C-alpha cells in the first residue's frame, strides 16, 4: 500500500484528465453500474463528518471528510480527511491519501463538468463567490473546458484572498484575477458564476436583472437546510442539474425549489443525463447546476491518481 500526501496528488493529473474521469463517473452513476450508498452525515459542535463509500470499476473506496467552517477564522483548512482505496476483487488496501487535496481536485473537475455542459463554448471569464480552496480549484479546472482568461472573485478576507491568488498563480498562471467587493459586482462582470461557500442562506442578490442569462455552478452548501442560490435563479432557468441523484434529497437548492413548487420533479435531473444526450439545456439562457459531491467521483479520481502514482513512482510504501 502507498501513502500519498497532498503535495503528491496535485500534479499527478492534468485538469483535463480529471474532468474526463469525473465525466466517466457521472455516466457510470446514471448507468447503474456501481454501488454507491448514501453518504452519512455525523454532526458535532460546529462540524460535520461525512462518510462516503463506493464500489465500482474494479475499486472500492471510502472517504472520511470533516467540514469545520470555523477553521477559516483559525487559519486552518475548512475541509480535512483521508481517502482509502482498495481492490474490489480482494478487498486489500492499495492506497491511503489526503482527502482534502483529493476533494479540491475532484470538486473542481465536477464544477468544470457543469461548465462544459451548461455554459456557452466561448465563455472566457468566471466569477467566484467563496474564494477558498474549492473556489480556487473550480477556477483552475474551468480553464480545461473553456478559454478562461479572467477571474472575478469576491474578496472577504485579505489572508484567504492572498491564498486564493497564490493557488491560481501556481496552477493557472495565465489568468488575470480581479477582486470584487460584493456579489453583485461579481455578477456585473461575468456570466459564469461559481459559489463555493458553506452558507445557510443565498449568497447572491435575488435580482432578476442581475441573474438573467447567467450560468450558476453551486459547489458549497451541502445539507438540506443550506443553500447558496436565490429563488430567482430557478425561476429564470426552469431547471436544476445535479451532480448525482442523491443530491435531489440532500441539498437545500433542490429541496427548497421542489418544496416551494418553483420546480417540478421533471425539471431536476443529473449531469449524467446531459453527458449522455438524454437531456439538453439552452446555454443561451439562464442555467443552474448544483454539486453536492458523490463517492463515485472520488473513487474514479482516486483510481486514476493511484495509477499515475504507480507509473511515476510517487508515494511512500506503507506496511500495516
For β-strands 93-98 and 79-87, DSSP reports them as: antiparallel
pLDDT band at 269 (very low <50, low <70, confident <90, very high): very high
Percent of the chain whose pLDDT exceeds 90: 82
The whole-number pLDDT of residue 215 equals 98
pLDDT in the model for residue 92: 95
Q: How far is CA 299 from the centre of its chain?
A: 14
Domain co-membership, 240 together with 127:
yes
Question: How many other C-beta atoms can be found within 10 angstroms of the C-beta atom of residue 72?
Answer: 16
- If you average pLDDT over residues 152-179, what whole number do you get? 94
pLDDT of 74 over the 90 cut: no
- Tell me if the pTM is above 0.75: yes
Question: Phi and psi at residue 256, in whole multiples of 5°?
Answer: -70, -50
The grid coordinates of residue 88 equal 474490489
Q: Same domain for 204 and 286?
A: yes
Cβ–Cβ under 8 Å, residues 65 and 50 = yes
pLDDT band per the 50, 70, 90 thresholds, residue 210: very high
Looking at the fold, whether 42 and 142 belong to one and the same domain comes out as: no
pLDDT band at 56 (very low <50, low <70, confident <90, very high): very high
Higher pLDDT, 206 or 221: 206
Please tell me whether residues 129 and 232 are part of one structural domain. yes
Question: Domain holding 92: CATH number?
Answer: 3.30.1780.10
- Within the chain, what is the greatest distance between any pair of CA atoms? 59
Q: Are residues 136 and 282 both part of a single domain?
A: yes
Sorting pLDDT into bands at 50, 70 and 90, what band is 189? Answer: very high
Q: How confident is the model at residue 32 (pLDDT cuts 50, 70, 90)?
A: confident
How many domains does the structure of the chain reveal? 2
CA distances from 140 to 4, 199, 265 (A): 22, 22, 33
Alpha carbon separation from 168 to 104, 174, 191, 200, 290 (Å, rounded): 13, 9, 20, 27, 23
Mark whether 131 and 209 lie in a shared domain.
yes
- What pLDDT, on the 0 to 100 scale, is given for residue 165? 97
Query: What's 148's domain CATH number?
Result: 3.40.50.720
The domain of 181 spans 110-293
User: b vs e for 29-48, b when ≥16 Cβ sit within 10 Å of the residue's Cβ?
Assistant: bbeeebebeebeeeeeeeeb
User: Are residue 285 and residue 193 in the same domain, yes or no?
Assistant: yes
| Residue of 124 and 47 predicted with greater confidence | 124
72 shares a domain with 38: yes
**What percentage of the chain exceeds 70 in pLDDT?**
100
What mean pLDDT is predicted for residues 86-98? 96
Q: What is the mean pLDDT of residues 146-158?
A: 96
Residues with Cβ within 8 Å of residue 131, at least 6 apart in sequence: 153, 154, 155, 156, 160, 161, 164, 196
Same domain for 69 and 170? no
Q: Does 188 share its domain with 237?
A: yes
Please indicate, yes or no, whether residues 69 and 162 belong to a single structural domain of this protein.
no
Supply the pLDDT for residue 220.
87
Give the rounded distance of the alpha carbon of 118 from its chain centre: 15
132 and 255 both lie in a single domain: yes
Residue 76 has a pLDDT of 86
82 contacts 96 by C-beta, under 8 angstroms = yes
Amino acid at each position: 500500500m502507498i501513502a500519498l500526501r497532498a503535495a503528491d496528488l496535485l500534479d499527478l493529473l492534468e485538469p483535463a484528465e480529471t474532468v474526463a474521469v469525473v465525466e466517466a463517473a457521472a455516466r457510470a452513476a446514471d448507468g447503474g453500474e456501481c454501488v454507491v450508498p448514501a453518504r452519512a452525515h455525523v454532526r458535532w459542535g460546529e462540524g460535520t463528518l461525512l462518510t462516503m463509500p463506493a464500489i465500482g470499476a474494479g475499486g472500492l473506496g471510502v472517504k472520511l471528510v470533516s467540514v469545520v467552517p470555523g477553521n477559516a477564522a483559525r487559519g486552518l483548512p475548512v475541509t480535512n480527511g483521508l481517502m482509502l482505496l482498495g481492490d474490489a476483487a480482494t478487498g486489500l488496501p492499495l492506497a491511503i491519501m489526503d482527502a482534502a487535496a483529493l476533494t479540491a481536485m475532484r470538486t473542481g473537475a465536477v464544477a468544470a463538468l457543469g461548465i462544459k455542459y451548461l455554459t456557452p463554448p466561448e465563455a472566457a471569464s468566471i466569477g467566484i463567490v467563496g474564494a477558498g480552496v474549492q473556489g480556487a480549484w473550480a477556477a483552475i479546472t474551468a480553464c480545461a473546458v473553456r478559454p478562461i482568461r479572467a477571474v472575478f472573485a469576491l474578496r472577504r478576507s485579505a489572508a484567504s484572498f492572498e491564498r486564493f491568488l497564490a493557488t491560481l498563480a501556481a496552477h493557472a498562471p495565465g489568468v488575470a484575477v480581479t477582486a470584487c467587493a460584493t456579489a453583485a459586482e461579481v455578477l456585473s462582470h461575468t456570466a459564469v458564476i461559481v459559489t463555493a461557500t458553506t452558507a445557510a442562506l443565498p449568497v447572491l442578490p435575488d435580482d432578476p436583472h442581475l441573474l438573467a442569462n447567467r450560468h450558476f455552478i453551486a459547489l458549497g452548501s451541502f445539507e438540506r437546510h443550506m443553500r447558496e442560490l436565490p429563488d430567482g435563479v430557478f425561476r429564470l432557468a426552469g431547471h436544476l442539474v445535479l451532480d448525482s441523484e442523491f443530491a435531489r434529497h440532500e441539498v437545500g437548492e433542490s429541496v427548497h425549489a421542489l418544496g416551494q413548487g418553483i420546480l417540478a420533479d421533471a425539471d431536476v435531473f443529473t449531469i449524467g443525463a446531459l453527458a449522455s444526450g438524454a437531456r439538453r439545456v439552452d446555454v443561451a439562457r439562464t442555467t443552474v447546476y448544483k454539486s453536492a459531491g458523490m463517492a463515485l467521483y472520488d473513487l474514479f479520481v482516486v483510481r486514476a491518481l493511484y495509477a499515475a502514482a504507480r507509473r511515476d513512482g510517487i508515494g511512500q510504501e506503507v506496511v500495516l
